[in-house]
Amino acid sequence: MMNIIVKVATKTGDFAENKDFAAKVREQFIRPALAAGNVVTLDFSDVSLTTQSFLHALISDVLRRHGTKALDSIEFKGCNRNIRGLIETVVQYSLETLPGVPPTEARNERT
């Protein structure tokens, strides 16, 4: 198993808001890692703020398609408290939209 590291700040700088970059990371790194059984580490070191829409473009579709299993292949590193909170929010609402997954179960999977 390989671990692919994506250093978000190298493309976004201090403020990660570019949804096109997020979608590119999703398509070039996250989806292939899931298919190959690899892990992607999304390194938010040196990023002080991100938008919820950036995170949505980055992970929401993958979570909706693969469910909680996708979280086995995605790691988040170097997240400050605000970024961590936004990630948890996006994970929660992405999983809550899955058919047959009660909201409580989705919340328990993300922590």
Q: Chain-wide mean pLDDT for the chain?
A: 90
Provide the pLDDT for residue 109. Answer: 45
Average pLDDT over residues 4-14: 96
Q: Which residues contact 26 (CB under 8 A, 6 or more apart)?
A: 57, 58, 59, 61, 62
Confidence of residue 111 (pLDDT cuts 50, 70, 90): very low
In terms of residues, how long is the chain? 111
pTM comes to: 0.85
Provide the pLDDT for residue 1. Answer: 83
Confidence of residue 108 (pLDDT cuts 50, 70, 90): very low
Residue by residue, DSSP assigns 47-59 as --EE-HHHHIIII
Provide the pLDDT for residue 102. Answer: 55
As a whole number of angstroms, the distance between CA 53 and CA 98 comes to 19
57: Cα separation from own chain's centroid: 9
Which residue, among 41, 43, 34, 36, has the nearest Cα to 68 in the 3D structure? Answer: 34
